Amino acid sequence: MPFTYSIQRILEIVGDDAQCFGEYQGSITGIGSLSEAVAGDLSFLGNPKYRELVADSAASVVLLPLDYTEAPKAKQLYIKVENPSYALALLCRDMEKSLQPPAEVGVHPTAFVDLDAVVSPAASVGPFCYIGKGAVVGAAVLEAHVSIGKYAKIGDETHIFSQVVVGDYCEIGPRNRLQPSCVIGSDGYGYEFTKGAHQRVPQIGNVVTEADVDVGANTSIDRARFGSTVIGTGTKIDNLVQIAHNVRIGKHCLIIGQSGISGSTELGDGVVLAGQAGVAGHLKIGDGAMIAGGAGVPHSLEPNAKVRGPTGEPMMLYNRIMVLQRRLPDLFKRFDKVEKSIESLAKRDTHG
């Protein structure tokens, strides 16, 4: 995707507190990693482990942390900022606006909008969308093949990508981003075993997402059995995540891919659930807790707890256990030698 940015424009975007070292007179026409960037590209140092790559980078402009001390090469500009990764994100956000023009306002002729639905005149409703009876759609963007259920509500400035389903009565807050094929308001998984069969328990609640929530592709958030499944302000949910009925997630949480949260569990604010982690049902996870990738959590956690492993052990304890496990083969060998020595001594004493 072609673009051209002057150094002045870059500095306007990354902020007035940026510090410049070196000189580059041209424009930026590409973005590349430190090792792959060429002349005319912009790069950045977001992770300290790549620090040694900066000196050899061919990028014309490099975003660096404030503590970077080396000097740039000739015809190269270093821009030092507090957070290079976020500075790059600001640049990409600006680029995104030009690379992806705003959606056209209006309802596509192939879309179906129920006569009892209310759609903002500032909304963009794409091809083959469905908006059900009594639904209210604000100044949002609905791409192709989006389904909005009966009496659902969609907040202003929300962007719903193609093939998303928002179920009946669900409420999507302002400035949400729902990635392709996610499902908001699928039935919660509820059954009672009666008379030799699993009988379905109706799930008559809804899902409520607050402001600035992101939901990844192919993620499912189940409607509540009754009441609401709630996703708090600023929470970001990755792809392929399962959130069960009546879960309540606090503000500014990070829920990473392939993780799952069982029914009626509550997450406080700022919780991090890493990839493929699982949390059992009816638990309370305290504010700021961090659950490592692949961990299983069968019990509630205090605020700021850090756990890992299949039974959700404290992280430092689990790390010690892992170190000790590696020593087990050697310990068994030593134990075997001690056991044989004791047996030998016992035989000698027996035979006088």
pLDDT of 243-284, one tens digit each? Answer: 999 999 999 999 999 999 999 999 999 999 999 999 999 999
If DSSP codes are grouped into helix, strand and coil, which group holds residue 301?
strand
The model's pLDDT over 117-175, given as tens digits with 9 standing for 90+, comes to: 999 999 999 999 999 999 999 999 999 999 999 999 999 999 999 999 999 999 999 99
**Domain extents in the chain:** 7-99, 106-314
Concerning whether 299 is annotated as a catalytic residue, the answer is no
CATH topology identical between 7-99 and 106-314 = no
Cα–Cα distance for residue pair 229/249, rounded to 1 Å: 8
CATH number of 7-99: 3.40.1390.10
- Given this model, what pLDDT does residue 333 score? 82
Contact yes or no for 84/33 (Cβ under 8 A)? no
**Count of Cβ atoms closer than 10 Å to residue 118 Cβ:** 14
Judge whether 300 and 284 are in contact, CB under 8 Å.
yes
In one letter, which amino acid is 331? L
* Catalytic residue chosen out of the listed positions 198, 245, 252, 282: 245
CB contact set of 191 (below 8 Å; sequence gap of 6+): 198, 199, 200, 201
pLDDT of residue 102: 85
At 77-96, the pLDDT tens digits run: 999 999 999 999 999 999 98
Place of tokens 């699993």: 198
pTM of the model: 0.87
What is 106-314's CATH topology?
UDP N-Acetylglucosamine Acyltransferase; domain 1 (2.160.10)
277 with 261: CB under 8 angstroms?
no
Q: Is 42 helix (H, G, I), strand (E, B) or coil?
A: strand
Could you say which DSSP state residue 254 is in? E
263 and 191 in contact (C-beta within 8 Å)?
no
pLDDT digits (tens, 9 = 90+) for 285-335: 999 999 999 999 999 999 999 999 999 998 888 888 888 888 888 887 887
